Every structure is written in C-alpha cells, then in structure tokens.
C-alpha cells in the first residue's frame, strides 16, 4: 500500500512534441526543390526561405510547400481554364524540409499576375504552406516581391494592415553577387515579427 501511495505522489513529466522529422521522410522524390526546371520560361528566381520560431531562432525540421503560377500567370492545374499559354516545362509546386539552420532553397521563375475577385489582377506572388512540430494544421501565407509596383493594387494585400504587410515580402538577397535573382523570405511562426497567416 505504501508503494502505491509513493507512486501516486509522483508528478508526471510534461509532454513533449517529438518530430515530425520531415528531414527523414522528405527524401527524393518527395522533396521538390525545382518548382521551375531550367527549361521553364520566365525570369529565374532562387528563393531562400528561413523558418523561425517565436524566439527568432531558426527552426530545423519544418516543411515548406510552394504553389505558384507560371510566368504567364497560369497555374499548372486543370482547374485553371484561363486562355493563357501553359509551359510544359513548368511544374508549379515545390516541397522541402528546412536544414539545421532553418533554411530551404527553391529554384523557380517569377510568376505572372493571376485573376482576382476584382477587375485588377493579383500581384506576382507565391502561395506558401508551412508545417512544423507543434503545428497541428498547415499555416498558409503568401510571399510577394518587395518593390513590385503591382503590390499597391493587390486585393489580398489590401486586406492586411499596412504595418503587417512587410511580413509577406521577399527581399533581394544582399549577398547575391552572381545575379542569380536570389530572394530571401523570412517566415516567423509567432512572436513580435509573426508572419501574416491566412485562414483558408
């Protein structure tokens, strides 16, 4: 009886989230770094994503998915019935896990403008989904090209408070001396710099 009493007095250990260990499961062909292979038409873009936790620490073993239109503003999907030219070399989808520094790198092209519910097409952007330990449902956001004139008339960006729009902007990589068209996108899951996520 005394042994049972001692056992009941023990304080249980707090639960810990283990995994999801994307870096183990996302082996080829499940990892897709080339959203637009070398033969795809359009302005080449190297997208460097870094995922951060609420403390601003780079987060390893997260997963980032990208879905975008081609350079003409047409998605590689049968539901996109626009009379715009498709690109047979364009894939339009990417998926990578972040490395130990919280980084993953995609190769793509700058997307064209796609229709909106208004008369004005949306600004060039990439649709981004983020998965990470402790995140039970994907986090959906967008990545826009900082400085693009079309950003000022984008209907989705207009829904975001002005002071939060910076969290949706990709910025040219200052270390890109090769002219590769490298852009950096910081994704903050929470905290003072939290990225705007959309309820979709």
pLDDT band at 17 (very low <50, low <70, confident <90, very high): low
Q: What is the pLDDT of residue 133?
A: 85
| Contact of 191 with 54, CB cutoff 8 Å | yes
Alpha helices in the chain (DSSP H): 2-8, 22-25, 155-158
> What is the reported pTM?
0.86
Cα dist from 102 to 7, 53, 63, 154, whole Å: 41, 10, 10, 29
pLDDT band at 22 (very low <50, low <70, confident <90, very high): confident
Going by C-beta distance under 8 Å and a sequence separation of 6 or more, which residues neighbour residue 161? none
Region 81-93: mean pLDDT is 94
Q: What is the pLDDT of residue 121?
A: 97
The structure tokens listed for 136 are 């039970």
- The whole-angstrom separation of Cα 170 and Cα 166 is 9
For 30-188, CATH number out of 3.90.550.10, 3.30.1360.70, 2.60.130.10, 3.40.190.10 equals 2.60.130.10
pLDDT exceeds 60 at position 27? yes
- How does pLDDT run across 56-68, given as a tens digit for each residue? 999 998 999 999 9
pLDDT band at 48 (very low <50, low <70, confident <90, very high): very high
- How does pLDDT run across 135-182, given as a tens digit for each residue? 888 999 999 999 999 999 999 999 999 999 999 999 999 887 666 789
pLDDT band at 11 (very low <50, low <70, confident <90, very high): confident
pLDDT exceeds 70 at position 71? yes
């Amino acid at each position: 009886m005394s042994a049972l009493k001692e056992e009941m007095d023990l304080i249980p250990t707090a639960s810990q989230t283990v995994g999801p260990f994307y870096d183990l499961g996302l082996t080829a062909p499940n990892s897709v770094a080339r959203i637009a292979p070398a033969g795809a038409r359009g302005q080449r873009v190297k997208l460097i994503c870094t995922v951060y936790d609420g403390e601003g620490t780079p987060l390893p073993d997260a997963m980032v998915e990208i879905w975008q239109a081609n350079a003409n503003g047409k998605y590689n999907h049968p539901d996109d019935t626009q009379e715009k030219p498709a690109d047979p070399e364009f894939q339009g989808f990417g998926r990578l896990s972040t490395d130990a520094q919280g980084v993953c790198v995609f190769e793509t092209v700058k997307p064209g403008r796609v229709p909106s519910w208004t008369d004005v097409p949306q600004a060039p952007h990439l649709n981004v989904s983020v998965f990470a330990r402790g995140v039970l449902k994907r986090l959906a956001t967008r990545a826009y090209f900082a400085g693009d004139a079309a950003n000022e008339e984008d209907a989705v960006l207009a829904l975001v408070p002005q002071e939060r729009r910076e969290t949706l902007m990709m910025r040219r990589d200052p270390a890109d001396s090769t002219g590769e068209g490298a852009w950096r996108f910081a994704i903050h899951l929470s905290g003072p710099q939290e990225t705007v996520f959309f309820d979709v």
